[in-house]
């Protein structure tokens, strides 16, 4: 499946949700499996965690600041507001990734439907 596989308004959001989850959590599961013998304070795991966080932050900022496709038609303020709402809900609800994703998506979709 590709980003443009379906010609419906909701497909890009579902694609981003699924691709975002698979891209981050699959590596986390592999890291837990392979890194079970390493100390969580070891320098290599600190480096891996820092690089992974930087990569995810870079992709998210790229999607917010300079998106392509249907997301490019939305206002920058809406994209930044959706990202901020998603992050705030992630923090407020006990660092639950899915809550942050769903709230950010909901704010984005609601803003697109209102405009």
Angle, vertex CA 113, rays to CA 91 and CA 14, nearest 5: 60
Q: What count of other Cβ atoms lies within 10 Å of the Cβ of residue 15?
A: 16
Considering the domain boundaries, does residue 103 fall inside one?
yes
Supply 56's token pair: 């995810």
Considering the domain boundaries, does residue 3 fall inside one?
no
Considering the domain boundaries, does residue 1 fall inside one?
no
Q: What is the DSSP letter of 96?
A: -
Considering the domain boundaries, does residue 46 fall inside one?
yes
pLDDT band, very low/low/confident/very high, at 108 (cuts 50, 70, 90)? very high
Q: What is the pLDDT of residue 75?
A: 96
Do 51 and 65 form a contact (C-beta atoms < 8 A)?
no
Considering the domain boundaries, does residue 66 fall inside one?
yes
Considering the domain boundaries, does residue 6 fall inside one?
no
- For 72-81, the pLDDT digits (tens) are 999 999 999 9
pTM of the model: 0.64
Considering the domain boundaries, does residue 17 fall inside one?
yes
Considering the domain boundaries, does residue 23 fall inside one?
yes
Nearby residues of 87 by Cβ (< 8 Å), 6 or more positions away: 100, 104
Domain span at residue 80 reads 11-114
**Number of structural domains in the chain:** 1
- For 1-56, the pLDDT digits (tens) are 666 677 888 888 888 888 888 878 888 888 778 777 778 788 888 898 899 999 99
CA 33, 35, 40, 44 dihedral sign is negative
């Amino acid at each position: 499946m590709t980003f443009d596989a379906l010609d419906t308004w909701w497909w890009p959001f579902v694609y981003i949700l699924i691709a975002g989850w698979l891209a981050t959590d699959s590596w986390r599961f592999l890291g837990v499996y392979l890194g079970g013998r390493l100390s969580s304070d070891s320098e290599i795991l600190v480096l891996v965690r820092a690089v992974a966080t930087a990569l995810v932050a870079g992709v998210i900022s790229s999607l917010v600041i300079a998106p392509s496709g249907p997301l490019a038609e939305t206002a920058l303020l809406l994209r930044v507001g959706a990202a901020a709402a998603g992050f705030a809900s992630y923090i407020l609800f006990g660092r639950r990734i899915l809550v942050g994703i769903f709230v950010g998506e909901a704010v984005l979709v609601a803003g697109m439907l209102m405009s």
